Amino acid sequence: MAAPAVLAEQLSKTFLVAEKDPGFAGTLRHFVRRRYRRIEAVRRVSFAIAPGEVVGFLGPNGAGKTTTLKMLTGLIQPTAGRARVLERDPYRREAALLRNLTLVMGNKQQLIWDLPVLDSLRVNAAVYEIPWAEAERRTAELAAMLEVEEVLRQPVRKLSLGQRMKAELLASLLHRPRVLFLDEPTLGLDVNAQLAVRRFLKAYRERYGATLLLTSHYMADIEALAERVIVIHEGRLLYDGWLRGLVERYAPFKEVRLELTAPVPAGAFERYGRVEEVQGSRVRLLVDKGALTGVVADLLGRFEVRDLTVDEPPLEEVIGRIFAEGAV
């Protein structure tokens, strides 16, 4: 059995944050005797990711996702526990490992703002000691996959956000890493750009067998790329398993959508389950799975229904409910 590409064992990180009272007196006290508060950003998180696997990494803001990624990429050292990427300690920053991983953050950039994209790619090729002839071949291949051939000679500041994000991906993958840590790679992009990035990541993984750990607030990213998800909340691991299993286990209801021939007051549907939305003749309900058959029969018998559909609830709502409850 192959060793995990990414391994976290009881991974923990605690930060000491200085606290200061307001005003001049508070500043003097802070200078003479500082007070610190301990923040446990990550608390004994353990998981393993197999080579070639794509895993979604979910959690609300402040859950510890980015801190975990920074420990796995060697940017910060764990307070306790152990991190391994390709069987190496990332914090030692060995060249053999750094050549095989990358971290892409949607809110950070590595491209040089006033220079053409190609100049930044030349810098990256030099850093990773890639001969320029080979770097040109890889650039052409990745640019074609990302559909950005026409922008490589333009200054970065002239690019749209979508073009810039694609160029950032190209720069991050020029050294052809085996492990990709992606922190909000589609942040702020429009729908078309998001789709393009998803298609590219899927194609890259299929072509090179790369391992991906992906965080995103866009559930469409997770649904399109990952079958398995890891959920953390307040630094603790809440769930590690199949994405569909998360919905089936923690959403004990189905979504029922009705289109009626005429509007009906919302109160008429409260007996059937949770009324999520009523807009004119369109109604959306959350109905307990065990009562679904009876509810559907009653709705069809009681109301003039033009159309009725039953589906799983949106993943965003399931995840949001888990975060709100704070436990799985």
212-268 pLDDT, tens digit per residue, is 999 988 888 998 999 999 999 899 998 999 988 887 777 778 899 999 999 999 899
The stretch 33-54 carries a mean pLDDT of 94
Worst-scoring range by mean pLDDT, 104-108, 169-173, 238-242? Answer: 104-108
Residues of the chain with CATH 3.40.50.300: 6-11+48-247
Residue 294 has what pLDDT?
93
The stretch 276-295 carries a mean pLDDT of 91
Interatomic CA distance for residues 118 and 290, integer angstroms:
59
Task: Kindly report the CATH number that applies to the domain delimited by 6-11+48-247.
Answer: 3.40.50.300
Per-residue pLDDT tens digits for 17-29: 888 888 888 888 8
Checking if the pLDDT of 56 tops 90, the result is: yes
Residue 207 has what pLDDT?
95
Task: State the number of CA atoms in the 13 A half-sphere of 186 facing the CB.
Answer: 23
Checking if the pLDDT of 3 tops 80, the result is: yes
The stretch 61-88 carries a mean pLDDT of 95
Worst-scoring range by mean pLDDT, 25-34, 43-52, 173-182? Answer: 25-34
Chain mean pLDDT for the chain: 91
Closest C-alpha among 2, 55, 85 to residue 241: 55
Name residue, tokens 């998360």.
Answer: 246
Class of domain 252-311: alpha beta
pLDDT interval class at 325 (50, 70, 90): low
Residues of the chain with CATH 3.30.70: 252-311
Give strand pairing partners of 102: 180
Per-residue pLDDT tens digits for 312-322: 787 777 777 77
pTM, whole model, 2 decimals? 0.82
Interatomic CA distance for residues 47 and 8, integer angstroms:
5
Per-residue pLDDT tens digits for 115-140: 999 999 999 999 999 999 999 999 99
Instruction: Answer positive or negative: Cα dihedral of 146, 147, 152, 154.
Output: negative
